[in-house]
Chain A
Amino acid sequence: MSAVDLARLQFAATTGIHWLFVILTMGLVPLVALMHTRAVFTRDPARRAVRERMTRFWGQLYVINYAVGIVTGLVMEFQFGLSWSGLSKFAGNVFGAPLALETLIAFFAESTFLGMWIFGWGRLHRGVHVTLIWLVALTAYASGFWILIANGFMQHPVGYAVRDGAAYLTDFAALLTNSSALVALAHITLAALTTGGVFLLGISAWHFARGTEETELFRGSLRLGTWVSMLASFFVVVIGQMQMPVIERTQPMKYAVLTDSGVAEVQRRLVAQHGPGDYVPPEGWIHLSMNTMSIIGNTVSTLTLVAVVLLWKDRLVRRRPMAYLMTAMIPFTFVASVGGWVVREVGRQPWLVYGRLTVEDALSHVSRSSLVFSCALFIAIFLALAATNWTLITRFAVRGPDATQLGATEPLPDDLPGSPGGGADDKQPVPAF
Chain B
Amino acid sequence: METAWLALLGLLLAGYFVLGGYDYGAQMLHPFLGDTRAERGSGRETGRSPALEAIAPFFLGNEVWLVAFAGVLFGAFPHLEGSLLPGLYPLIVAILAGLVLGNAAVQLRGRARGARGRRCWDALIVFGGALPALCWGCVLGLLLHGVPRRPDGTFHIGPGDVLTPFVLACGVTTALLFAAHGAAFVALRSAPELAAVARRRGAGLLRAAAAMGALPLLLTLFGAGAAMTNRMTSAVLAVLLAAALAGAWWWLTRGHHVRAFTATCCATALPVLLVGAGHYPYVLISPAGTGLTLGEAVTDDATLKILSVFGVVVIPVILAYQTWSWWAFRGRTGRRHPRYF
Residues in A lying within 8 Å of B, measured CB to CB: 63-64, 67-68, 70-75, 77-78, 80-83, 85, 88-89, 92-94, 96-97, 99-105, 107-116, 118-124, 168-170, 172, 364-367, 370, 373-374, 377-378, 381, 385, 388, 392, 395-396, 405-410, 412, 423-426, 432
Contacts and interface: CB of A to CB of B under 8 A. Distances in A.
Nearest to B96: A75
A412 B335 contact: yes
Interface stretch (B67-75, B176-184, B206-214, B223-231): B67-75
B89 A82 contact: yes
Contact of B302 (A96, A168, A367, A408): A168
B337 A409 contact: yes
B303 A169 contact: yes
B40 interface: no
Contacts of B329: 116, 119, 123
Contacts of B307: 97, 100-101
Interface of B: 44-48, 56-61, 63-64, 66-68, 70-76, 78-79, 81-86, 89-90, 92-93, 96-97, 99-101, 103-104, 107-108, 110-111, 113-115, 154, 156, 299-300, 302-303, 306-307, 310-311, 314-315, 318, 321-322, 325, 328-329, 335-340
22 contacts: A63-B107, A67-B108, A78-B92, A82-B89, A82-B92, A96-B76, A96-B303, A101-B314, A103-B64, A103-B71, A109-B318, A111-B61, A115-B59, A115-B60, A119-B56, A169-B300, A172-B306, A378-B93, A385-B100, A406-B340, A409-B337, A410-B48
A240 B86 CA distance: 37
Given A88-B74, A89-B79, A169-B300, A77 B67 contact: yes
A96 B100 contact: no
Given A105-B314, A424-B114, A432-B338, A88 B92 contact: no
A115 B61 contact: yes
Majority-rule SS of A interface residues: helix
A74 B107 CA distance: 15
Given A71-B100, A89-B82, A381-B97, 4 more contacts: A74-B100, A80-B81, A104-B311, A115-B59
A412 B328 CA distance: 23
Contacts of A388: 104, 108
Classify the interface of chain B: helix, strand, loop or mixed: helix
A94 B86 CA distance: 20
A70 B66 CA distance: 12
Ranked nearest first, the 5 interchain pairs of A and B with the lowest CB-CB distance are A100-B75, A92-B78, A103-B71, A81-B85, A67-B107
Given A112-B60, A120-B328, A104 B318 contact: yes
B97 A85 contact: no
Contact of B44 (A99, A381, A423): A423
B100 A405 contact: no
A116 B100 contact: no
A75, A80, A111 — which one has the most chain B CB atoms within 10 A of its CB? A111
Nearest to B65: A108
A378 B261 CA distance: 35
Contact of A423 (B47, B90, B104, B315): B47
A122 B107 contact: no
Contact of A72 (B67, B90, B100, B108): B100
Given A97-B303, A104-B315, A423-B44, A381 B100 contact: yes
Contacts of A381: 97, 100-101
B267 to A, nearest CB: 25
Contact of A405 (B57, B110, B318): B110
B89 A366 contact: yes
A70 B328 CA distance: 23
Contacts of A73: 67
A365 B86 contact: yes
A250 B224 CA distance: 56
Contacts of A71: 99-100, 103-104
B78 A115 contact: no
A77 B70 contact: yes
A141 to B, nearest CB: 17
Contacts of A366: 86, 89
Given A93-B299, A377-B97, A409-B336, A99 B63 contact: no
Contacts of B92: 78, 82
Given A99-B75, A102-B71, A423-B45, A111 B89 contact: no
A172 B308 CA distance: 13
Given A100-B307, A112-B61, A112-B64, A81 B74 contact: yes
B61 A425 contact: no
B106 to A, nearest CB: 9
B194 to A, nearest CB: 16
Contacts of A406: 340
Contacts of B73: 81
B338 A100 contact: no
B78 A370 contact: no
B321 A85 contact: no
A89 B299 CA distance: 10
A63 B56 CA distance: 14
Contacts of A373: 93
B78 A96 contact: yes
A107 B64 contact: yes
Contacts of A105: 310, 314
A376 to B, nearest CB: 11
A79 B125 CA distance: 24
A113 B321 contact: yes
Given A93-B303, A102-B71, A408-B338, A81 B81 contact: yes
Given A105-B310, A108-B68, A405-B340, A82 B85 contact: yes
A406 B57 CA distance: 13
A116 B72 CA distance: 25
Nearest to B115: A423
A426 B14 CA distance: 38
A384 B272 CA distance: 34
A424 B46 CA distance: 10
Contacts of B47: 423, 426
Nearest to A373: B93
Contacts of A426: 47
Nearest to A101: B310
Contacts of A170: 302
Nearest to A116: B325
